[in-house]
Amino acid sequence: MRVLFIGDIVGNPGREMIKSHLKRIKEEHAVDFVIANYENASHGFGLTAKNANELVACGIDVMSGGNHTWDKKDILPLLDSHEILRPHNYPSEVPGTGCKVYEVLGEKLAVLNLMGHYAMPYTDNAFRCALTTVEALHAQGVKNIFIDFHAEATSEKRAMLLLLQGKVSGIIGTHTHVSTDDFQIVEGTAYLTDIGLSGCRDNVIGMDEKVPLKQFLTGIKGHFDIPKKCKKVLQVAIMDFSDGVCSNAFKLKYFDDGRVIETKAWMEA
């Protein structure tokens, strides 16, 4: 199966790039299943019902969240009515789930959403949650497992790879909005520390630079806004999974000026 993953969709610019490109990307690269992170999709903070329906109509099969999951009140009914995840390591009393299993080309695919600890809301231990969840999935006969690890610290993301390499098909980090240059396949596990945002690329992590610059210069905080006009990018990872193993992976960056940059994941010996 060929799985496509989109990281943090930041506001209308990110949604516009998905509407403009995703259908064609799926056709050109024979994509079977699409996962995307929604937590910044509605003006940078959370997800509304309107935007959820908009993204589903673009061809996204399931959406994962993060620390902004609860920012819009719409999310509570969406967790039941849509294929929408929240971080699985929230306490069990929290609505929704962070793990679902799908049938893709006759194989099972589990999508697991986890959230890190450094500078993030309080949750249960992400690493223990990952181990117990992956073990339970294996016991159910689910071999293809993809993890969106929403975390600030690169060390946490790297540690998750070392914990689970050879046990899951892919681990890709989200949250920082800044893409890293370490896409690799280790013991059959595709890994990228952070895929980066899809949205404005010429500001501060997708937001208008005025408030962040004022904060850095003076220490005074303000409300972050997404620019009405900006240069945009769509960043996607495409991975081939079968029998729990990733055999091939690459990243595509689509710019609104027509450029496309492809980076192939390297295979660790």
Q: Which residues are catalytic?
A: 68
Question: Do residues 64 and 147 touch, judged by C-beta distance below 8 A?
Answer: no
For residues 19 and 257, the answer to whether their CB atoms sit within 8 Å is no
Cβ burial 162-179 (10 Å sphere, 16+ → b, else e): ebbbebbbbbbbbbbbeb
Position 169, amino acid = S
What would you report as the CA-atom Rg of the chain, rounded to the nearest whole angstrom? 17
